[in-house]
Amino acid sequence: MRKTVLLWIMAALTVGVTACGSAEKAEAVNESESEVKSYCAYVVSLGTDTIEVDIAEYITDEDTDRMRELNLTEGDMPDGYYIYNPDETTETLQLTKETNYTFIDWGRDFVDADLYEDLLISTTSRELFRSYLKTYRDSRPGMPFFLEVEDETVKSILEKPFM
């Protein structure tokens, strides 16, 4: 089961890593369907039915136009990415019971495992995600999460490993 979840997550990472960026980069699935937006964002707080985030821009070394605009070099992104967050403006987004939370149990607070794929937790339990956030100082992870938002509600929140 965990290997299946890992395969889905890796597929989403492969397809979605370049889609995470500013709100202006959201794409419509098609004219008749809802608009799906991808965000790279720092979690500020988790409410009862909302999440407050500071949206940033995730830039990869493949985005040469954006690198040029920001005067970034490959030296600025030794791991192949740069997180651009010129201001700390927050936005509050709606959560539902169907929102999926996928995170990495780095501290092994929820699973006793050594393999990376066994450290991935995927759940719709907001309380489990809240417990995970509490493992960080001030309940605020230092790295951003990746959100998929449709019809003003968060469909998924994904933590990716950063090297």
What does the alpha-carbon distance between residue 14 and residue 80 come to, in Å, rounded to a whole number?
14
Greater confidence (9 vs 69) lies with 69
Q: How confident is the model at residue 1 (pLDDT cuts 50, 70, 90)?
A: very low
Q: Which two tokens stand for residue 81?
A: 């990415």
Q: Which pLDDT value is given to residue 10?
A: 42
Q: Which pLDDT value is given to residue 44?
A: 95
Nearest Cα neighbor of 23 from 49, 69, 58 is 58
Q: Is residue 29 part of a domain?
A: no
Q: Is residue 150 part of a domain?
A: yes
Q: Is residue 144 part of a domain?
A: yes
Greater confidence (91 vs 138) lies with 91
Look at residue 45 and tell me whether its pLDDT is greater than 80: yes
Query: Strands, DSSP E only, in the chain?
Result: 27-28, 35-46, 50-60, 81-84, 90-94, 100-104, 120-123, 145-150, 153-158
Greater confidence (107 vs 163) lies with 107
Q: Helix, strand, or coil here: 127?
A: helix
Q: Which two tokens stand for residue 101?
A: 């939370």
pLDDT in tens, 12-21: 443 344 445 5
Nearest Cα neighbor of 43 from 124, 140, 136 is 140
Q: Which pLDDT value is given to residue 99?
A: 98
Q: Is residue 66 part of a domain?
A: yes
Q: 141 lies in which domain range?
A: 2-23+37-158
What does the alpha-carbon distance between residue 64 and residue 77 come to, in Å, rounded to a whole number?
12
**Mean pLDDT for the stretch of residues 2-30:** 42
- Looking at the structure of the chain, the number of domains it has is 1
Phi and psi torsions of 16, nearest 5°: -95, -10
Mean pLDDT of the chain: 83
Q: Is residue 163 part of a domain?
A: no
Nearest Cα neighbor of 130 from 55, 9, 48, 39 is 48
Q: Is residue 143 part of a domain?
A: yes
Q: Which pLDDT value is given to residue 163?
A: 58
